[in-house]
Amino acid sequence: MLDVGRKRASELGFSGMEWLQGNAECLSSIADNTYDSYTIAFGIRNVTHIDKALKEAYRVLKPGGQFMCLEFSQVQNENLRWLYDQYSFQAIPVMGQLIAGQWKAYQYLVESIRQFPNQEEFAGMIERAGFAFVRHENLTFGVVAIHCGHKL
Amino acid sequence: MLARYLPLLQCYGNIMGRTTIIARPLLASNFSTNRTTSQDANASAQSEGRREEQDSSSKEDDVKFKIFNAALPLVHQLGWTKECLEAGAESIGLSKSSHGIFEHGGTSFVHFFHRNCNKELRKIAKDEQIESAKSDELTKVHQLLEQRLQMILPYLPQWPQAMALMARPHSSLDSYKLLYELADDICFFAGDRSLNATWYTKRAAVAGLYITGELSLVQDKSANCDESWRMLARRIDDLRKVEEFGGSCSRQQEILKDIAQSSLTLIRNLTGMQSYQRNSR
C-alpha cells in the first residue's frame, strides 16, 4: 500500500512526503502535538479499537489541529436504506466474485459497514476522545460521511 | 418569548376576521405608539432571556472568539479570508488548521463579526440604559443605528468584500437572520412594544435604514463619513414626518377603506363583472 502511495505521489509531482508504517492505535514513533491535521479515509472502520485510534489522533495533533475522517456510515432515509442494503448484500459480493474473484472479501466489506457506528454515535466517540467543534456531513444520502473535529 | 410572536397571531386574526384588510394603517402609526400593556414586563423579560442565552459563552466559544479577535487586525492585509483566520490562529499559538472552526472560511468570519457586533450593541443598549432614556423612540433608533454602523468603520476598505460574501446565495439565509436580529434588537431597545402590524413595518424600516447606511458608508468620500451620518439623520426625519402625517389612524382608515372600495368597483366595471350585479338587482 505504501509503495502504491509513493508511486502515486511521484506521478502527481509531490515531494517531501514521509511514508511510515505504524499502528493507528499506538503511534509510538510520533511525538505529542506534532501535526496540524490528521486525516483518515476508509481506514478507521478497520481499526479494532476505534477509541484508541481517536485518542492517538488527539495526542499527535497540535492545539487547534483538525481531525478529519471519511468513512462509510448509515443511510438516513429508510427507503433508500432498504435499496442500499439490497444492493450491498445481493450485488456487491457477486460483482466482487466476477471482477476480482473474491466473494468473501466483499461480503466482509458490506458487513463491516453495518458494524460501524452511525453518524451520531461516531461523533459522540470523537467528542469523548477530547475533540471539540465536532461536526459531520453526509455524502450520497449518508452512504459516506465526513466527520471533523478540532483539538483545543 | 411567546410575547414576541403575539403580533403574528394578531395579524392572522385580522386577516381572517376582517374584510377591509387593505385599510390597515401601515405607515401611519410607525414609531408613534406609546401603548403600554400588561404584557410589557413579560415581553421584555422573555426577549432578554432569549438573546442572553446566545450571549453566554462556553469554552468552545471562547476559543473561537480568541481566534476571531486575533484575526481581526489582520483583515487590512489579508481580507476576510481563510488566510486571515490562519494567520490569526498562528499568532495566538494555535495550529493553522484552526481556520476549520469557521466552517465556511471568509463567510463564517464575516458572519461571526456581525453576530459579535450585534452582541456588542445589546451590551451598549443595556449599559447605557437606552430603553429608559427620556428621548422618543426614533431618536433612540437613530442612536443605536449610528452605534452599530460605527462598528464597521475600522474595516471600511475591506467592507465591500464582506458585503459580497454575505450576499452570496448560500449565505443569504444567514444574512436575513442577522439583519432580522439586528432590526429586532434595535426596535426592542428603542422601546417598541407594539402588538399589531407596526411590529413588522418598524423592523422592516430599521433593516432598510441599516442597509442604506452600510451602502452609503462604503462609497462615502467625505471626511469622517459625515455625508452618511447626515443622510441617516435625514432618513430618520423623513420617518418622523410620515408619523406626523398619519397621525389620526381612524380617519386614515376610513379614507383607505373608501379608496379600496372604489378601486374594487372600478375593476369590476372594467372587467364587466359589475353588470351581473346590476342585472341581478
Q: For position B23, what pLDDT does the model report?
A: 34
Q: For position B32, what pLDDT does the model report?
A: 39
Q: For position A60, what pLDDT does the model report?
A: 96
Q: For position B50, what pLDDT does the model report?
A: 53
Confidence class for position B131, pLDDT limits 50, 70, 90: confident
Distance from CA of A151 to the nearest CA of B (A): 9
Which range of B10-14, B33-37, B137-141 scores highest in mean pLDDT? It is B137-141
Q: For position B147, what pLDDT does the model report?
A: 94
Q: Cα separations (Å) of B38 from B3, B4, B44?
A: 11, 14, 11
Grid cell for residue B98: 484552526
Residues recorded for chain B: 281
Cβ contact A132–B59 (<8 Å): yes
Give mean pLDDT, residues B48-54.
Answer: 53
Q: Which residues of B touch A62 (CB under 8 A)?
A: 94-95, 97
Q: For position B193, what pLDDT does the model report?
A: 85
Query: Is residue B198 within 8 angstroms of chain A, CB to CB?
Result: no
In this predicted structure, the answer to whether residue B18 has a pLDDT above a threshold of 50 is: no
Q: In what order do the strands lie in the sheet with A144-150?
A: A35-41, A61-72, A144-150, A132-139
Query: Is residue B104 within 8 angstroms of chain A, CB to CB?
Result: no
Among chain A residues, CA nearest to B86: A64
The minimal CB distance from B101 to the residues A36, A61, A150 is found for: A150
Give mean pLDDT, residues A76-95.
Answer: 92
Residue A150 · residue A130 · CB < 8 Å: no
Identify which of B176, B175, B197, B186 has the alpha carbon closest to the alpha carbon of residue B147: B186
Q: For position B39, what pLDDT does the model report?
A: 43
In this predicted structure, the answer to whether residue B110 has a pLDDT above a threshold of 50 is: yes
- pTM, two decimals, is 0.76
